[in-house]
Structures are given as C-alpha cells and as structure tokens.
Amino acid sequence: MKSASLKPFASLMLLSLFFLTSCKKDKCVQTITYKTYEPVYMSYDELRSAVKSEPAKPLKKPGKIYLKGNYIFVSEVNKGIHIINNSNPSAPQNIGFINIPGNVDIAATGNVLYADSYIDLLALDITNPQSITVLKRIENALPQRTFTGGYHADPEKGVVVDWKEVEKTEKVNADCGGGGGGWWGGGPWMEGDVVMNATNTSGTAVNYNPNTPGIGGSMARFTISNNRLYVVDSRNLNRFNISVPSNPVASGTSSVGFNIETIFPYNNRLFIGSNTGMFIYDVSNPDNPVFVSNYTHATACDPVIVDGDYAYVTLRDGTPCNTFTNQLEVVNIQNIANPTLVHTVPMTNPHGLGKDGNALFICDGAAGLKVMDAANPVAIPATPVVHVSNIQATDVIPFNNKLLMIGDDGLYQYDYTNVQNITLLSRIPVEK
C-alpha cells in the first residue's frame, strides 16, 4: 500500500560535467554543473486561510473516492475535493469543489466531512455541500510529508506544494589520477523519483443511514469506527474522538510499523496494510487498539478488504514498492491470531478492490476492471466473470448493485444487478 506520490520529473538529476585542468598536490579542482530540484513552499498562514467552497472544476488528478448518501466526494490530489450529486447515477452532476491544499484523504459521518490538509486535520460542515464551513482545524495533527531520493524540506518555511528544477554549479576536489576517485564516485548524484508520503473502506454493501459513516474505497488511510476517526500515516495509527462529530479531539497515537498504506475496519477490528504485510488490531476499546496478529507477504503495494472469515489482499509492483509481485491473495482469518494464506490469483497490476456478496471487484490498473467469482474464496478462478478493459482502474466502492470506480481517466458507475453482465451507467471524464 503505497503512499500518495509526487513525480514531477522523469529523473532526479541530470549531470553535465565541466572539468578544469589546474592540479595541486595531486588534486584537481573540478567545476561541475548539474540539475536538481528545490521545494516550493506554501506558508502556514496561506495554507490555513485557503479552505473554501468554489464552483465545480473538472477532474484532473483524481485520488480517493467516498460515498455519502446521494453525494460522491472525489479528492483532487493535493488540491481539494470534488462534490458529485449522485441522485441519478445515470446522470451524476459535478456541482462544486472544496479548495483544500494538501488534501488526499476523506471520511464523513452525519453532516461532517473530515479531510487532511498537509499536516492539519479539518472537520467541515457539509449540510449544504456547495457552501461548506470549517467547524474545526486541528493544527499539526498529522506528520510532515517526507521525500525519498535524499530530498529534504525545511518545515520552518511551510509545506511543500511542488518541486522546481534548478541548475547549480559547484567546485569540488578530486584525485587527478586516472584510476578513479573522480566526481563519478559520489556527490549529488541520485536516481529515482521524489515521493511524498501522504497521510493517505470498502466491502459488503450496507443500507444507508444519514447518521452513520459513509463508505470509502480500499485505498483509504482514513476510516471511522466506534465514534473514532482512525488515520494511518507511514508508521502510526492516529485516533480522534468524534463522539461529537463537529469537535474531533486527538486521543492518541500508536506505532504500527513501517511503510503503512491503508486501513479497513471490520467487526471491531482494524486491518492495516503495509508494503510487507497486514497488521490486525482489536479496537473493542476504541481508545486502546490492541495488536492481535500480522500476516507477512512479499514486499508490494497492498490494499486489503475483509468479508467474513477471509481477507483479500492485492499486491502490485511499481515505485516505491520495489517488487515484481502482481497477484490477489486470499487469507483465512478464522483464527484471527494466525492468518493463513489459502489461495492466490495472478493479476496484471492490481490496485483497489471491493466485495459484495460473491462478487469480488478488482481494479487491475491498465488491465481494467475485473469481476471475480468469490463464491468459494479458496478456489477463485483465474478467469474473471467480467473483464472491462481499455480503462485505467484504481479503486472501487460497491453499494446496492451500483459500482463506483475511479481511475486515471475518470469516475465510472456500473449497474451490477446482473453481475455477469454489468452495464455502464455513467462516466465523468478526467480533463487532460
């Protein structure tokens, strides 16, 4: 399960070297010119005064999806939240946008929507979704984002909203001999992408109650259970008491592990996915999560959902997961203290998933949407019941025979009343 990523460049650094010939005591002074990237900051004052309702905007880089009543909320990665009126799934209406710098994740209960804004947690009144008000902001509730590839930012300057390419020239000392020890042996040479670890629930469908939490996708880092909002960052499980929804109160943090990616609630338990496995916590006492067990798998990006005695985990390759595993894993959790792998199904590049009855919906990346027959979890056929190709599928929410699916090219809705012949109801495209 991966953290949300910022990849503004194809490679971190392109070096072109210009050598001087002056040598002193077997040392050469070399002048090097290279390209690197520097952070672009937003001040905390600007961050905390930016939240407001705006007219509808086209989807450009959609992220997480969340269903609440007749509304779909779609995060625009690091920009805010699209509001979709879904009273008619065959003709959904994009009716507004909530400007929230740094937003990645969302969850809601009653008329209150919770959202991250870089390091802050917001509680928003969505009684009128087109005219929101900020009920509360908990400053510094979430950790600063971190970056791979040796890139660092100064939190005293604000939050990082972008990276800009700059050219630098430096003088360095190196051995003049031809046997090595020149600039190629070290210095600011890096490869890869700058990755932002953003504080980044699906499953069987339930009847909607306006006073209960909504439904999120399997890629979520926010979830609501027992009047608590649980938020995972890359290492920790953070809890907020939302007994009074309009007044969330930070109630503690528990260390979980490393490279934590997603969270899924089921029957007073939290199933937390990481790059290396699934951690199970008992939250019968919501303010005292108790570790129960963990299931270890190959290093891979990994969302998880649970239904009955089985957990369903998708593993995929790709930065920063650093693996070549692409498959569905079915884990028996009947003995919750000893989760056991019972079945695997090969996939192309699976992302989010959801389940309703015997239908298991898997977003297989560029391979599209696959509907698997999960009537017998330990023998799910490799051939899907339905395969919708030519789309980029990222995450799904199945609910009352309607399937929400988000991908790089838009928000789709399908009718799966007849699961063997699902039909497209609507699509809101991404504007390139």
Per-residue pLDDT at 281 exceeds 80: yes
Q: Which residue in this structure is represented by tokens 């994009």?
A: 94
User: Cα dihedral sign for 359, 269, 215, 276?
Assistant: negative
Average pLDDT (293-318) is 90
Residues 6 or more apart whose Cβ sits within 8 Å of residue 384 = 362, 370, 371, 372
Taking only the tens place, the pLDDT of each residue in 79-104 is 999 999 999 999 999 999 999 999 99
Q: Kindly tell me if the per-residue pLDDT of 4 is higher than 60.
A: no
Name which of 46-60, 171-185, 204-218, 267-281 the model is least confident about: 171-185
Handedness of CA 295, 105, 415, 109 (dihedral sign): positive
Q: What pLDDT, on a 0 to 100 scale, did the predictor assign at position 297?
A: 85
SS3 325: coil
Q: At 317, give phi and psi (nearest 5°).
A: -90, 180
- 144: which DSSP letter? P
Confidence (pTM): 0.84
8-state DSSP, 189: -
Picking from 21-25, 32-36, 45-49, 146-150, which range would have the lowest pLDDT averaged per residue? 21-25
The strand ranges marked E within 242-352 are: 249-255, 260-266, 269-274, 277-282, 290-296, 304-307, 310-315, 327-332, 340-346
Query: With the C-alpha atoms ordered 412, 416, 417, 418, is the resulting torsion angle positive or negative?
Result: positive
> Structure tokens of 6?
């910022």
* Sequence-ordered alpha helix ranges (H) in 66-165: none
Q: What is the pLDDT of residue 62?
A: 96
Q: pLDDT-based confidence at 27, cuts 50/70/90?
A: low
pLDDT of 323 reads 63
Question: What pLDDT score was predicted for residue 147?
Answer: 77
The domain limits of the chain are 14-43+146-185, 46-142+197-429
pLDDT at 175: 54
* Residue 8 pLDDT exceeds 50: no
Instruction: State how far the Cα of 328 lies from the Cα of 316, in Å rounded to an integer.
Output: 9
b/e for 378-399, b at 16 or more Cβ within 10 A? Answer: eebeeebbbebeebbbbbbbbb
In whole numbers, what is the pLDDT of the chain averaged over residues? 85
pLDDT, one tens digit per residue, over 397-432 is 999 999 999 999 999 999 999 999 999 999 999 998
Look at residue 240 in the predicted model and tell me its pLDDT. 98
| Two tokens, residue 425 | 């109801």
Judged against a pLDDT cut of 50, whether residue 185 lies above it is answered with: no
H/E element holding 48?
A: helix 44-48
C-alpha 48/C-alpha 145 separation (Å) is 17
Quote the CA–CA distance of 341 and 30 in Å, as a whole number. Answer: 57
Contacts of 3 (CB under 8 A, 6+ apart): 195, 196, 197, 198, 200, 234, 259, 261, 320
Of 100-109, 212-221, 395-404, which gets the smallest average pLDDT?
212-221
Within 8 A by CB and 6+ apart from 338, the residues are 293
Higher pLDDT, 110 or 211: 110
Of residues 309 and 321, the one with the higher pLDDT is 309
The answer, yes or no, to whether residue 255 has pLDDT greater than 90, is yes
pLDDT band at 275 (very low <50, low <70, confident <90, very high): confident
Q: Which of 428, 347, 344, 358 is nearest to 76 (CA)?
A: 428
pLDDT confidence of residue 158: 95
What is the enclosing helix (H) or strand (E) of 46? Answer: helix 44-48
pLDDT at 322: 58
Burial class (CB in 10 A: 0-12, 13-18, 19+), 20: exposed
Question: What is the Cβ-side half-sphere exposure of residue 46, based on CA atoms within 13 angstroms?
Answer: 10
Q: Which residue has the tokens 């699509």?
A: 427
Q: Which strands, in side-by-side order, build the sheet including 353-356?
A: 353-356, 359-363, 369-373, 386-388
The CATH classification number of 46-142+197-429 equals: 2.130.10.10
Average pLDDT over residues 182-190: 29
Retrieve residue 166's tokens.
Answer: 């700059």
- What is the full DSSP assignment across 211-268? TSB-EE-TT-SEEEETTEEEEE-SSEEEEEE-SSTTS-EEEEEEE--SSEEEEEEETT
| pLDDT exceeds cutoff 50 at 189 | no
Mean pLDDT confidence for 197-225: 64
Round to whole Å and give the CA distance between 403 and 208: 15
CB 135 within 8 A of CB 124: yes
Is the pLDDT reported for residue 321 higher than 90?
Answer: no
Mean pLDDT computed over 235-241: 96
More confident residue, 282 or 194: 282
> What is the four-CA torsion angle of 103, 411, 397, 136, rounded to 10 degrees?
20
Burial class of 130 by CB neighbour count within 10 A (0 to 12, 13 to 18, 19+): middle
% the chain with pLDDT above 90: 71
Q: What is the pLDDT of residue 6?
A: 41
Confidence (pLDDT) at 211: 60
Question: pLDDT tens digits for 117-153?
Answer: 999 999 999 999 999 999 999 999 999 988 777 788 8
pLDDT of residue 203: 36
Locate 59 and state its tokens.
Answer: 């989807």
